[in-house]
Chains A and B, each alone.
Chain A
Amino acid sequence: MILKEYKYELGKIERGYNNRSLYINLSDNTIKEKEVTQFMKDKFIGGKGFGLWYLWNAVTPETKWNDPENEIVIAHGPIAGITQYPGSGKSLVVTLSPLTHMPMDSNVGGYFGPYLKFSGFDALELQGKAEKDVIIFIDGNKGIVQIMESDIEEKDSHLIAEILTERFAKDEEDKKNVSVVSTGSAADHTLVGLLNFSFYDIRRKAVRLKQAGRGGIGTVFRDKKIKALVVRFEGTKGNLNNAADQGKINRTGIKLHREICLLDDKQNRMRKIGTANIIEIMDQYDLLPTHNYKFGSHKDTYKISSDKFQARVTQGLPDGCWYGCSLSCAKAADDFIPQTGPYKGQKVIVDGPEYENAAGLGSNIGVFDRDGVLELNFYCDTYGVDTISFGTLTAFIMECYENGILDKEKTGGLELYFGNKEAALELLHQMARGEGFGKIAGLGIRRMKEIFIKEYGADPDFVNDIGMEQKGLEFSEYLCKESLAQQGGYGLTNKGPQHDEAWLIFMDMVNNQIPTFEDKAEALHYFPMFRTWFGLMGLCKLPWNDIVPENNKYTDEPAKIPEHVQNYVDLYNGITGKNIDKHELIRQSERVYNFQRIFNIRMGYGKRIHDKIPYRAMGPVTEEEYLSRQERYDKQLKELLGLDPENMTTQEKMAALRKYREEQYEKLTDAVYARRGWTKDGVPTIEKLKELGMDIPELIEVVKKHL
């Protein structure tokens, strides 16, 4: 049953912009178009910038994630939808997160973003709450938007996406023109729900899913009673953006295709195995999170190494999540047969595993079992559970279980010790059913800590030290104890400890390229700003540095990949006809980055106190951890602090190391805030906002209360 239909004039994209967006309110079924103004394009560029701006205007400091005025905004960006440069089909999803209560942003592949753009819109705002489950359909060729009552009984994404692709495609040939956004049953019962964005895999003849994983966006989606979003657009070509200089874009793309063709096999093997290529490398450098980030390697890592996954990835050919992605990190294991749960015994496709999943669902919870990781991966995706949050919160639960904070009685019979694959799977099934201990686990680490302390009498110091969350968001899967810069890369972020802002472990710890506080601060300024830019444009980060030109190491700044930075400058100028340089690129990001920081402050967070990280991220919490790296830690006490470890107990040594490392983090924080133009409390200064042209009255009003 159609609840509301809206017809719109089809338009033409001009130099990367439609100059309008689509607004839908599900409380009263309003559908309308909004103008994308020059102000928005100048200050916020697109993608996550537009998402944050619309959200800012939709909410107040009192708005909670489950209030009707909270929005989910999906936006791509001016470069998105080109088919010539790898990684150019990304959507950025923004909402107030149920985990952090602040704006969350997540970058996701699949065809929805480009098709939304080709259908005529630079962003889609979803506000309000429906009474009953609804499906929203955008027909990008006919110019029709419909809100319809959902008749779909299936609750999980791999089925919902398949059914709706079948329904809205005219025939088999047309399926590639349909993209579905949905989530699964666990998004109804947990705060870690994700969104699956589909694309149709024409070689497999199957629907594939990519995830907007972080921060509980799927939970908000279900709270609004949205079953699915569907877009259909027929007629994709390589020039629909009407670029100012299409030839420039084509040539820039072909240059990178060639580079990938010649060098990927020698570099990261993204086409062969994808991001999972680094599992064994992380283990080798003692960086693979193991047993809730206690350790950085394990004797059984070989059981989940990339070659084990490669053997299971059954496709013969690499595939991307948008046309023209020759880096092709998307992987799938066909004909996988789950051993548990509602889809037990059925043949399914498992997308991935990506590195984060192999680490989070593998080593971090002690499951050194390839098919176990794949099964957890499949269920997380289809149930709509963020694999990173699931891995990290399950690791936390397992450490609590092994320390007696939890027991079988409290978990309803689940023996959640490290390595218990069956218990981890059952925990996940409980999340999907909204039952038992799964419901508690689905609240995330921050809320579990409160429950364990208040109700189970857990030692607050211990659970706060080992609970790997910050700002309410679970850490992603890198061990950063031995890299101060990466601690900052996780801690001094806008949305929480996710490595998409800065991944500095190798630069810092392995290659020692940023030894001083100033060096680290510069890196923690430049890289978060540079990486923010991908989210403004609708781009993927991987083609920036997961492939590098052959001569990159001889350039002045190899870590920045100068030639690829220039590619991005050329793409932006090629699309828009503007003439920015690599410095203006950073300023574009700085405007949005500072805006997001101020948004956090407006919501009651975003200050120095919120940038602190749990000690597990900085050093050894337990004797077991200290002793596992005693040589390294003793050496540091001797060399850095002039102490004599021979005459100290382990407890004394741990205390001295902790004091030192916590001070280091504070010093780093000072240096980074200064470099970013913030006060010691982490508040952007008015001078900084003026310098960026972001001294708009409503921002000044927020910051001046905190200066």
Chain B
Amino acid sequence: MKVLKKNPEKCIACHACEETCSKLYFKEENREKACLRIKETDSYPEITTCTQCGVCIDICPVVALSRDKRGIVRVEKKKCVGCFMCVGFCPEQAMFMHDDYIEPFKCVSCGQCVKVCPTGAIYMSEE
């Protein structure tokens, strides 16, 4: 399974990854709609990404979360009832919600963000 990994020490908080993600996912350049998040801090930036741990799968009351063939955890929007329990219970805080949508969204390990990262602060890793 290919998982998005991070190396905050290399991150320069250019936010290119977030913009690429939201554009790809929601056709809109809007960091609040990205499936990963970069937060600037006094030290290195905080990078929030999904580890594909699957805790959310068991939390979901309607079994709308499951692993695809690649082992990646996916939200099945049609089944989802928008309770956002997965958002509250994600150990990485990497399940997201935005007022424009009634379903949560998350990283699907597509790797597009990695391509635009100028420093290698995020990378794909085979787990």
Contact = CB atoms under 8 A, between A and B. Distances in A.
B83 A84 contact: yes
Given A203-B63, A319-B61, A326-B89, A246 B99 contact: yes
A84 B82 contact: yes
Nearest to B55: A261
Contacts of B97: 250-251, 254
B88 A260 contact: yes
B62 A202 contact: yes
Contact of A254 (B62, B81, B88): B88
A323 B61 contact: yes
Contacts of A684: none
A256 interface: yes
B85 interface: yes
B99 A253 contact: no
Contacts of B99: 246-247, 250
Interface residues of B, number: 18
B14 interface: no
A257 B81 contact: no
Interface in B28-60: 58-59
Interface string A95-125: 0000000000000000000000000000000
Interface string B87-122: 111000000010100110000000000000000000
Contact of B88 (A236, A238, A239, A261): A261
B58 A238 contact: no
B25 interface: no
Contacts of B123: none
Given A246-B99, A250-B97, A239 B84 contact: no
A128 interface: no
Contact of B82 (A83, A257, A259): A83
A259 B89 CA distance: 9
B84 A250 contact: yes
Contacts of A176: 62
Contacts of A311: none
Contacts of B85: 257, 324, 326
Interface in A223-268: 236-239, 246-247, 250-251, 253-261
Contact of A324 (B58, B81, B103): B81
A238 B81 contact: yes
Contact of B61 (A254, A258, A261, A324): A324
Most buried by B among A250, A253, A325: A250
A640 interface: no
A467 interface: no
A254 B99 CA distance: 12
B102 A256 contact: no
A205 to B, nearest CB: 11
Given A320-B61, A323-B62, A324-B81, A254 B87 contact: yes
A136 to B, nearest CB: 26
20 contacts: A83-B82, A84-B82, A84-B84, A202-B62, A237-B82, A239-B82, A239-B102, A247-B99, A250-B82, A250-B84, A250-B99, A253-B88, A254-B87, A258-B88, A323-B81, A323-B83, A324-B81, A324-B83, A324-B84, A326-B59
Among all A-B residue pairs, the 5 with the closest Cβ atoms: A238-B82, A257-B88, A324-B83, A247-B99, A83-B83
Given A239-B102, A254-B87, 19 more contacts: A83-B81, A84-B82, A84-B84, A203-B63, A237-B82, A238-B82, A238-B103, A257-B84, A257-B85, A257-B89, A258-B88, A259-B88, A317-B58, A323-B62, A323-B83, A324-B81, A324-B84, A324-B85, A326-B59
Interface of B: 58-59, 61-63, 80-85, 87-89, 97, 99, 102-103
Interface of A: 83-84, 176, 202-203, 236-239, 246-247, 250-251, 253-261, 316-317, 319-320, 323-326
